[in-house]
Amino acid sequence: MQNSMFSQKIYPFLLSAYRWYLQTPERSLDEAYKAALKIKAIEDEYFNGSTIDFNSAIYSSSVMDYFESDIKKQLKLVRMRLTEFRFSRWFSNESHQKAAQKTGIEYLTPTEILDKLKFIDDITTKYINLEQELLSSNGLNQTPLNKTADGQNSEASPNYPPSIIKSNKNDLVERIYAPTSPPQNLGRPSAQNQRKRPKADSIGILPRSILSTIGRLQIELDPNSEQDVVQNFRQAQRRTIISIRFILLIIIIPLLTHQLSKALLVGPIVERFRTAQTEQIFLNEEMEEKALLTIQRFEERIKFENLISNAPPLSTEEIEKQIQTKAQEVAEEFRRESANAIKNVFADICSVAAFIWLLIASKSSITVLKDFFDNVVYGLSDSAKAFIIILFTDVFVGFHSPHGWEVILEGVTRHWGLPANRDFIYLFIATFPVILDTIFKYWIFRYLNRISPSAVATYKNMNE
């Protein structure tokens, strides 16, 4: 009685475990196939279906590091599941297949297995270098380099995943079901194609300087380090070219748009609607006062020259005639200045629209430019960083900065033909530099103090 109860409890468990064991090959192959599908999905969504180039400047270094870690994770999963698939096939025999059929397990046909293996092989062979890096990190030996026809080194295909796809299907079936032995080769890790990681990624027992020195020595002793240096230089060169070209574009295109729209589009429209009968000479009282002051000084100069000159004195009618001529010249001058101010308003709108369009259409260039500035700024020495910060803060938020802001605001209002509102200018000077100074201090405390504390110490010493 007790034996029957024991068998009723244990037998279903043993049967399910046996079924799980018999399904191991297909389960491993299916998981490897799903991992390859995830790699393919990343290629289709972010790289237009092409192979992922981890040295590409399309995305920033942090984004490419994320893609690389995800691809490494999927490749590792593919390699582990294919190894499990090979071992399970190695232990599989005809009796196991008959037992699986009795328990209701249906295996995939050889054609279906070949299709999945071919898809996995097509995906993973694109990342041979990355997979060799995974193998080296796990202590497995890398495949040797073969000489091509042109004398260059080419890497042989790795052991995992197996390239077993041949034209003859019978040979393929035999290779799939043939027993194989696990690899036994162990070797040194390689420093090839290693990407630089941020300093704050991990905290080790030894100081980072010692670890970085050891890593640098490993890279320098590696025979393929010269290729890595050339590749890194080319990547930096592409990033610099793209950044400089984008900086020139965001400067030249708005200025060129302003001048062309003002000369070809806005100018003719304004001149057409501002006729001599309807146009207003002065756009604001400041321009009118400036014109009256010019006429007044001209009249006083004529009278003064008339008093001190040895020539016959001018009559009142002649003085009035000269003043009238001068008034017409001043009116024409301020008429052109008013029309030019109106043209500047609409031309600036076109220029801003062109600038916004350029930013929207160049998102990838903006990412490269941000990475370029990060490398330039954080690559400076501590004294250079402190010098630039002090120079920038003293110019925009320093003791003499209100005079500069006042000149800038008056120039902007004069450019648009607006009266200079002294109350607004004084309010702006009293608030904006303070806000800007707070932002600088927060950036120094929040980011620079964490990234380069020595630069903050140098800044404080120089500022004192």
Query: 187 or 74, which is more confident?
Result: 74
Predicted TM-score (pTM) of the model is 0.50
Q: Is the pLDDT of residue 208 over 90?
A: no
CA pseudo-torsion sign 306, 307, 308, 314: positive
* Residue 154 β-bridge partners: 146
Query: 217 or 336, which is more confident?
Result: 336
Q: Once rounded to an integer, what is the mean pLDDT over residues 223-251?
A: 85
- Give 123-172 pLDDT, tens digit per residue: 888 887 766 665 555 544 444 444 443 444 444 333 334 333 333 444 44
Predicted local distance difference test score (pLDDT) of residue 357? 93
CA angle in degrees (0–180, nearest 5) for 419-420-422? 135
- Give 57-86 pLDDT, tens digit per residue: 677 777 787 888 888 888 888 888 888 888
- Give 85-119 pLDDT, tens digit per residue: 887 776 665 555 555 555 556 666 778 888 888 88
Domain ranges of the chain: 2-186, 226-363, 380-464
Q: Is the pLDDT of residue 187 over 60?
A: no
Predicted local distance difference test score (pLDDT) of residue 348? 93
Predicted local distance difference test score (pLDDT) of residue 287? 86
Cα separation values, 139 from 45, 161, 184, 190, 204, Å:
33, 17, 11, 10, 20
Predicted local distance difference test score (pLDDT) of residue 355? 94
Percent pLDDT > 90 in the chain is 13
Predicted local distance difference test score (pLDDT) of residue 15? 58
Q: Once rounded to an integer, what is the mean pLDDT over residues 235-262?
A: 92
Predicted local distance difference test score (pLDDT) of residue 133? 61
